[in-house]
């Protein structure tokens, strides 16, 4: 008769080996309370891990805000400038990339936040950090739209008001300006190629037709 418990233990061992990120590293935050950390001889390392996890949480929040802003800007600019199959496809790819980066940053923050809680962070007395819900919190208000009636009831997630230094705000603004400038340049290039195509479209030669087809392809 097979040893069911043995098979189960073996399966768990294989799973943990196949997924290294699930392995416990034996850090202070891997223990639920100070007593367990004391028994493991890790209590003296709590302050060090607190510093590291705080830095990780702040870094993740910065990337999260950048990604949400970028995604929002790309979606808005796509509606304005992306005309044709090519520009729409490229815009969708950029939006998906920003969305994935946004979720990854949120997951990194959540990991750091849970570690901070295990290390003794008390949300009742320290509001530096707070929970993030990936399903409901990864958004921002559209700054290009005017405030509508009752729209003020939709309060942005907490991380838009906390942990923002002037340096990070300026950095985010420069990033958005660069992307908006890039989008405008693509729009001008599309307009230029379209003008070329319309000019040669008047001719009836085979060469002109080929030039027109190429110009329209570059425009799209």
Secondary structure in 3-state letters for the chain: CCCHHHHHHHHHHHHHHHCHHHCCCCCHHHCCCHHHHHHHCCHHHHHHHHHHHHHHHHHHHHHHHHHHHHHHHHHHHHHHHCCCHHHHHHHHHHHHHHHHHHHHHHHHHHHHHHHHHHCCCCCCCCCCCCCCCCCCCCCCCCCCCCCCCCHHHCCCCHHHCCCCCHHHHHHHHHHHHHHHHHHHHHHHHHHHHHHHHHHHCCCCCHHHHHHHHHHHHHHC
* Domain boundary, last residue among 91, 119, 137: 137
Both 39 and 111 in one domain: the answer is yes
Both 27 and 102 in one domain: the answer is yes
Nearest-angstrom CA–CA distance, 122 and 34: 14
* Domain boundary, last residue among 137, 152, 174: 137
Both 106 and 172 in one domain: the answer is no
Residue 7 lies in a domain: no
Both 124 and 197 in one domain: the answer is no
Predicted confidence (pLDDT) at residue 125 exceeds the cutoff of 80 = yes
Both 41 and 131 in one domain: the answer is yes
Residue 3 lies in a domain: no
**Number of independent structural domains in the chain:** 2
Residue 15 lies in a domain: no
Both 177 and 107 in one domain: the answer is no
Both 54 and 103 in one domain: the answer is yes
Give the pLDDT band of residue 1 (cuts 50, 70, 90): very low
Quote the pLDDT of residue 5: 44
Quote the pLDDT of residue 219: 67
36-40, 89-93, 133-137: range with highest mean pLDDT = 133-137
Predicted confidence (pLDDT) at residue 187 exceeds the cutoff of 50 = yes
Residue 202 lies in a domain: yes
Both 182 and 97 in one domain: the answer is no
Both 43 and 130 in one domain: the answer is yes
Give the pLDDT band of residue 197 (cuts 50, 70, 90): confident
Both 44 and 132 in one domain: the answer is yes
With a pLDDT cut of 70, the percent of the chain lying above it is 74
Predicted confidence (pLDDT) at residue 66 exceeds the cutoff of 90 = yes
Both 28 and 131 in one domain: the answer is yes
Nearest-angstrom CA–CA distance, 161 and 174: 19
Predicted confidence (pLDDT) at residue 110 exceeds the cutoff of 80 = yes
More confident residue, 212 or 146: 212
Quote the pLDDT of residue 17: 54
Residue 14 lies in a domain: no
Residue 84 lies in a domain: yes
Quote the pLDDT of residue 108: 97
* Domain boundary, last residue among 119, 137, 155: 137
Both 61 and 120 in one domain: the answer is yes
Residue 158 lies in a domain: no
Residue 41 lies in a domain: yes
Mean pLDDT of 11-40: 76
Q: Could you tell me the residue range of the domain that residue 95 belongs to?
A: 23-137
Give the pLDDT band of residue 29 (cuts 50, 70, 90): very high
């Amino acid at each position: 008769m097979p040893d069911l418990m043995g098979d189960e233990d073996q399966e768990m061992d294989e799973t943990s080996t196949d997924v290294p990120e699930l392995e416990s590293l034996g850090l202070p935050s891997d223990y639920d309370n100070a007593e367990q950390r004391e028994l493991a001889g890790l209590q003296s390392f709590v302050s060090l891990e607190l510093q590291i996890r705080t830095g990780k949480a702040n870094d993740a929040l910065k990337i999260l805000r950048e990604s949400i802003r970028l995604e929002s800007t790309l979606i808005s600019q796509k509606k304005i400038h992306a005309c044709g199959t090519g520009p729409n496809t490229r815009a969708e790819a950029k939006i998906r990339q920003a969305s994935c980066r946004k979720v990854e940053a949120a997951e990194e923050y959540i990991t750091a936040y849970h570690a901070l809680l295990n290390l003794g962070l008390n949300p009742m007395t320290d509001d530096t950090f707070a929970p993030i819900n990936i399903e409901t919190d990864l958004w921002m208000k559209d700054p290009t739209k005017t405030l509508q009636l009752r729209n003020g009831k939709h309060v942005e997630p907490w991380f838009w008001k906390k942990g923002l230094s002037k340096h990070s705000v300026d950095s985010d603004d420069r990033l958005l300006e660069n992307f908006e400038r890039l989008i405008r340049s693509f729009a001008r290039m599309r307009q230029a190629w379209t003008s070329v195509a319309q000019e040669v479209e008047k001719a009836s030669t085979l060469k002109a037709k080929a030039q027109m087809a190429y110009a329209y392809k570059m425009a799209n």
